[in-house]
Structure 1
Amino acid sequence: MENDKKKWIYLLILSLVWGSSYILIKKGLLGLTPLQLGALRITFSTIFLFIIGFKSLFTITKAQWPWIALSALLGTFLPVFLFAYAETEIDSSIASILNSLVPLFTMFLGYVIFKIPFTGNQVLGVLLGLAGGAILILKGAAVNPTQNYLFAGFVVVAAFCYAGNANIIKSKLQEVSSKAIAVGNFSIMIIPALFVLLYSGVGELDYTDTVVVESLIYIGVLAVVGTGIAKILFNKLVQISNPVFSTSVTYLIPVVGIFWGLLDGELFTYIHFMGAMIILLGVYLVNRKQKKDQRLSRSF
């Protein structure tokens, strides 16, 4: 199958998987702390990836390992804890919408670090995206006075981390297989994750409590499908397309995230909708360059 067709299939699968991740995090937090959830998610994912792809580690060169390590930090290690802490205070649907800032940050970092030129439309897109995020955070806090919307900042930081990771994979790890990148990432993360797990109080959990058991099941599913398999698919998507297109999965993630949030009784008002639409308009403007402005792009 041609890459042009494959990338859209990967994009759809990732949107469904990652759009469902936010509700799984929410459910996992019912019986686990953010530190326990993040460390267990990494541990479960590592076990799964080692089973299916340990041999791929030997295809990574010495020069590529520093980039694998930085990709691990930005693409998974920091975000899993940031999202877990964020969802202790904000709804899963709001977290999924704020994650739509990733393509905007991807374009920004691509220019600042890798000197990729951008257009006036993309500048407008970034500004609109940030404005939509501000509306979502500030007005959302008024709608949900019992929630601390300062925790939404954790999602914004995580989105920035994801953007950095996408640029690293495309510019520095293009020759490494998607499976090797994923397995390499987790081979590095497992040691610090186990230290976090050791000091998170996981040994003191009541494993006869059905809430704890259900939370572990939710995180197990999230780790294998939402992290392990999804990381391989995302790495491949970046390699066969480009960083901005691959992070455009955030177009569809909020739709899935909001669907699960509404089913779980979360409040979603016209203010949330307005903020989401402004963010997605910004993402659309940023992505227009990839289709029709390649010849007309100008540096700023």
Structure 2
Amino acid sequence: MSNTTLKPKDEAPLLLGRQKMLAWAILILLAIVWGSSFILMKKGLLVYPPLQVAALRVGFAFIFLVGLAVVRFRKVPKNKWKALFVSGLVGVFIPAFLFPLAQTHVDSAITGVLNALTPMSALVLGVVIFRQKTVRTKVIGILIGFVGIICLIFTNANGGVSFNAYALFAIAATVCYGFNLNYIKHYLHDMKSLDISVFSISLVGPFALVYLFASDFTTIYTHKEGSVLALVYIAILGIAGTAIALVLFNRLLQMTNPIFASSVTYLIPLVAIILGVLDKEEILPSHYIGMTITILGVWLVNRK
């Protein structure tokens, strides 16, 4: 009798502890998966041109999720299809093309740091386009982050000062992400996050595949050395870095809260930098200064 009485009290903290451990495990896994995305793009770009890398990434994510889309097709209200397509276009398709273009002239570690600008983009667009209110601390965070960006995009490989226009592709991708976050909040807030991820990818995936096979992809795959290994890297990028990561992130949001989930923003650049250094990318002191300033600005923007 005493064991039966004590069991619920003993198990509740245990279950809570397990859920907390699972949340941290998902957070760390997401940081590794998304932080690895930039080095995987770099490996894919050794063989395939940037637009094909992007099409392959979206295509693999589409193939992985299309079965789930078929099963859940009837759960989507008719008036949501247009918004889902816009979300897929701005939040998945366009950024997938912008990041490889950036990485043709920007190291993967730097691109990983620039990706952390997404919360800033979301805040600026939320205020300018969606008329959201903000506070002084967040405005200061944006200004500080802007200084960090300047340090990153104006530092050349020799440590001198020159403008790297290709970094603007990565910044444009974060603007797309920021717009998509606000767009989902305003137009898709009443849908399950899993359905938003599945159908936004499924609606734009066919366009990526059409472009891919209209290009010289099959010729490169057949004749260029290292094409199979590069394709494996991109498959991991599409399936793990896009499809599975979105599902995991949505699960993390359900288990915890947006503040905890958004902390992955600070871990992604760390993973990207470590992998970039291991791949013998040269990170200059001015880069580290720019990274630190940028992350500080992101922290102020995300601060409650």
The more displaced of 101-110 and 174-183 is 174-183
Q: State the shift of 1:144 in Å.
A: 7.7
**Which of 260-269 and 7-16 deviates more?**
7-16
For residue 75 of structure 2, what is the aligned residue in structure 1?
A: 59
**Residue aligned with 1:135, SS:** helix
In the other structure, the counterpart of 2:4 is: none
Give the match for residue 12 of structure 2: none
Pairing 1:29–2:45 present: yes
TM value normalised by structure 2: 0.86
The aligned residue for residue 167 of structure 2 is 152
The 8 Å contact of residues 248 and 283 in structure 1, kept in 2 or not, is answered as: no
How big is the shift at 1:12? 3.0
Query: Quick one: which of 71, 75, 94 aligns to 2:110?
Result: 94
Correspondence 1:247-286 to 2 at 5 A: 247-286=262-301
**Paired residue for 2:6?**
none
* Alpha-carbon distance in structure 1 between the residues aligned to 2:221 and 2:92: 28
Structure 1 pair 28/171, CA: closer, same or farther in 2 (3 Å)? Answer: same
CA distance in 2, matches of 1:41, 1:94: 20
Are 1:59 and 1:176, in contact at CA under 8 Å, matched by a contact in 2? no
Deviation at 1:233, TM superposition (A): 2.5
238 and 155 in structure 1: CA distance in 2 versus 1, 3 angstrom threshold? farther
- Alpha-carbon offset, residue 245 of structure 1: 6.2
Pair 80,8 (structure 1): closer, same or farther in 2 beyond 3 Å = same
- 8 Å contact kept, 2:59–2:206: no
Q: Which residue of the other structure, out of 142, 161, 168, is the alignment partner of 2:183?
A: 168
For residues 132 and 58 of structure 2, what CA distance do their matches in structure 1 show? 32
- One-letter amino acid of the structure 1 residue matched with residue 206 of structure 2: I
CA contact (8 A) 2:252 2:261 kept: yes
Identity %: 40
Could you tell me which runs of 5 or more consecutive residues in structure 1 were left unpaired when the two chains were aligned. 291-300
Partner residue, 1:115: 131
TM-score after normalising by structure 1 = 0.87
**Counterpart selection for 1:231 from 238, 246, 262:** 246
Higher mean C-alpha deviation, range 267-276 or range 7-16: 7-16
Q: Is the 8 A contact 2:69 2:202 kept in 1?
A: no
Verify the 8 A CA contact 1:245 1:287 in the aligned structure 2: no
User: How many Å apart are 1:139 and its aligned residue?
Assistant: 2.0
**Which ranges in structure 2 are unaligned for 5 or more consecutive residues?**
1-14
Q: In structure 1, what is the equivalent of residue 66 of structure 2?
A: 50
Q: 1:67 to 1:11 in 2, by over 3 A?
A: farther
User: SS in structure 1 opposite 2:134?
Assistant: coil
Structure 1 distance, partners of 2:179, 2:26, is: 20
Change (3 A) 1:233 1:44: same
